[in-house]
Amino acid sequence: MSYKPPRRPQFFYTTAPLPCPYVAGRVERKVVTEITGPDADQVHDRLSRAGFRRSHNIAYAPVCPGCGSCVPIRVPTATFQPDRTLKRIMRANAMVEGFGSPARATAEQFQLFQRYQKARHVDGDMATMSFYDYRAMVEDTPIETSIVEFRDPDDRLVGACLTDCLGDGLSAVYSYFAPGLERRSLGTFTVLWLIERAKTLGLPYVYLGYWVPESRKMAYKARFRPAEILVAGTWRTLTDAEVDSEKTNHALMPETAV
């Protein structure tokens, strides 16, 4: 009988409170843990199913006091049915091709990343990232990770998505696209491409991170239906009533609160 060393204990830590990046006036705290060692892929798989996300070699999940707005969400690839709007987006980007490759940062990617940050998130922390910061974001990964490049018929890079490969699906870590092409909805197209890619690979899910109904930046994730959300440790189908209720609540909120 071969000897198996005991599993290394997993330690979890809580971060200091910081301003919430999604809902104004709220405080963000996270529970974090390191993903390292020969079983990093298995650890990451378990944590992803428990609602964690990855950044570099750290997995994190929100534990914000008095708030549960960040809801883990994933799309079951076998039952996904695009609505008319999503089908239109697919047709509008029919000439855009996605190419998956190992997680390696390039100057071309970084230039597009910078343009995206300056156009969409000029006040965010990522807007000041250097190429070395960007390379670390892409390449510092303890698990199987790829970067999907999206190119138009002239071979111009119009978008990219850092993507983790899990045992049961693909996880969209971070995506960005060319400013000025907002009408093409390339961010939404990226998710649609990942769903089709996961189907091709025989993977049952695409993990989209957190659905935050109160954030205009994050509420769009409920468009990919049917979707599943993690509630009280159990994945279940997101209902139409829940989405409609959140749409109503969001419409009634004052502009200063979003």
Q: How far is CA 11 from the centre of its chain?
A: 24
74 lies in a domain?
A: yes
204 lies in a domain?
A: yes
- pTM score: 0.90
60 lies in a domain?
A: yes
**Long-range CB contacts for residues 121-128, cutoff 8 Å, separation at least 24:** 124/21
Compute φ and ψ for 192, nearest 5 degrees.
Answer: -60, -40
58-70 per-position pLDDT tens digit = 999 999 988 999 9
CA gap 65, 26 in Å, rounded: 9
Q: What's the angle, vertex CA 132, arms to CA 206 and CA 175, rounded to 5?
A: 25
175-222 per-position pLDDT tens digit = 999 998 878 899 999 999 999 999 999 999 999 999 998 888 888 899
CA distances from 47 to 31, 57, 140, 255 (A): 12, 13, 18, 35
1-10, 107-116, 220-229: lowest mean pLDDT where? 1-10
- Centre a 10 Å sphere on the Cβ of residue 258 and count the other Cβ atoms it contains: 14
134 lies in a domain?
A: yes
What's the whole-number mean pLDDT along residues 4-12? Answer: 72
**What's the domain count of the chain?**
1
Residue 71's closest CA among 44, 53, 45? 53
Structural domain that includes position 235: 13-257
Structure tokens at 109: 């990617």
The CATH number of residue 239's host domain is 3.40.630.30
Residue 4's identity, in one-letter code, is: K
152 lies in a domain?
A: yes
4 lies in a domain?
A: no
Residues in the chain: 258
CA gap 194, 148 in Å, rounded: 9
5 lies in a domain?
A: no
30 lies in a domain?
A: yes
